[in-house]
Structure 1
């Protein structure tokens, strides 16, 4: 006859076997990764891909913004249509960001360094023959004819738009235009009074600037500026060529000739 005491001893055997098997199964994993429970460890799977760590709650004393920080520098986009047929432009200058410094490598293999100690870099780019950097307090430009980074100062302005040509670069705020001239390695400043920037273009030695009030053409080697009042008209499109620049405003055309360095007004309705 089956007794109760015999049944209790019989039931203990599977429990002991299961407990021993679980303990033996845990031993290899504990020895394989002794830091398995360290919160700063990154775990890798069998093919070497980094697995995403679970999100941790921030320390109560740390301020973690709930929304991403808004960018204060944007790339400028022309309002009027740019019909210029730009040639293929090869970037012949480069820079490398090091520890608290930027090193520009020119086309003749020379190096030009700039210390960024105490500055926060907000924008940097190379294109054509120039490189430009915008920090919280300086504008910096370098070209293939430079011996040092040319510094331009900016004060009390938070938001900027930037545009790059292969010989000139633009930094525009609500109050001023800052233009880097690769021929002279110099920053030119143009004030904006009751007007705003609408277009910027650079082809070879000429820069074209269109605002809501006027047209500006700059000759880079001489730094000469030529101006045409728009007479309450609005430029719809423009085109830069080797010998002239056309600015279209409805039935009217303003043509800037490089040879005469003057604007000619043409009525397209005739």
Structure 2
């Protein structure tokens, strides 16, 4: 006959065996991945497959921009090191964008308007003594010496880099450089023939443009241009001063003197 004491003993043995089994299954999980909750949080849908899953956190090493970056007009940055000590530059002109128009306010309190009807504005900025606008079919510039917005035409250009100076601004495409001169209120076009833009700088009435093949120095009031072939050398750094501009290419230095308006070649190994 099956006794109650025998049943109790049997139940104890069963419970002990169950406890040992649970412990043996739980112990490996403690050592399998001790840091599993220190990283990303994982979500398990225990209700249904149609519930929207929470957004996963991106990997910290990956940069995911929140909005698309517009690539057709960008700010240009010099490849050679610019050692120029620029003074504090105060913007003395600004503009207001109205309905299908831009109105510039000059330092003498006069106003110069431009109608943008039929144009898509891609870039606009004021700096120093000038303002420029880039649309899908025109370049526009105005300065404190202007009586109207000066228009420069562009043909089939899609991408631009823009650099602003105190007295001049540069709009560069893959094929041409468009320089706005605030002294003359004029756009100058410089073609790029098997070369690319490396640097642009403007200090007072002088502009420096460095390409992969040459140096161009422009006197803004007279619009005179002076060039120096780089002879397959590469400019590593440059510096604009009140009386001269230095261009360093390894052991060679090209100095442009304002007084003589000419380049002088100096060998730094002597």
Query: How would you bin the TM-score normalised by the shorter chain?
Result: 0.7 to 0.9
Question: What residue number does 1:176 align with?
Answer: 176
CA distance in 2, matches of 1:230, 1:70: 34
- Aligned residue for 2:142, secondary structure, equals strand
Question: What residue number does 2:197 align with?
Answer: 197
Moved over 2 A (4+): 67-71
1:223 positional shift = 0.3
CA distance in 2, matches of 1:231, 1:142: 37
1:70 positional shift = 3.6
Q: How many residues align?
A: 205
Correspondences of 1:236-247 after superposition (within 5 Å): 236-247=236-247
CA distance in 2, matches of 1:69, 1:168: 27
Question: What residue number does 2:154 align with?
Answer: 154
Tell me if 1:231 matches 2:231. Answer: yes
- Aligned residue for 1:225, secondary structure, equals strand
CA distance in 1, matches of 2:75, 2:68: 19
Correspondences of 1:23-172 after superposition (within 5 Å): 68=68, 70-172=70-172
- Aligned residue for 1:218, secondary structure, equals strand
1:69 positional shift = 6.5
98-107 or 68-77: which moved more? 68-77
TM, length-normalised to structure 2: 0.75
- Aligned residue for 1:199, secondary structure, equals strand
- Aligned residue for 2:77, secondary structure, equals coil
CA distance in 2, matches of 1:269, 1:71: 43
Q: Deviations over 1:12-70 (max 9, x none)?
A: xxxxxxxxxxxxxxxxxxxxxxxxxxxxxxxxxxxxxxxxxxxxxxxxxxxxxxx8364
CA distance in 1, matches of 2:192, 2:164: 20
Q: Cα RMSD over matched residues?
A: 1.1
Question: What residue number does 1:210 align with?
Answer: 210
Q: Deviations over 1:185-222 (max 9, x none)?
A: 00000000000000000000000000000000000000
The structure with more radius of gyration: 2
Question: What residue number does 2:249 align with?
Answer: 249
CA distance in 1, matches of 2:184, 2:75: 24
1:162 positional shift = 0.3
CA distance in 2, matches of 1:101, 1:80: 38
- Aligned residue for 1:216, secondary structure, equals strand
CA distance in 2, matches of 1:262, 1:72: 37
1:99 positional shift = 0.2
Question: What residue number does 2:13 align with?
Answer: none
Return 5+ residue gaps in structure 1 as ranges.
Answer: 1-66
1:130 positional shift = 0.3
CA distance in 2, matches of 1:192, 1:173: 9
1:131 positional shift = 0.3
CA distance in 2, matches of 1:139, 1:102: 13
CA distance in 1, matches of 2:145, 2:152: 18
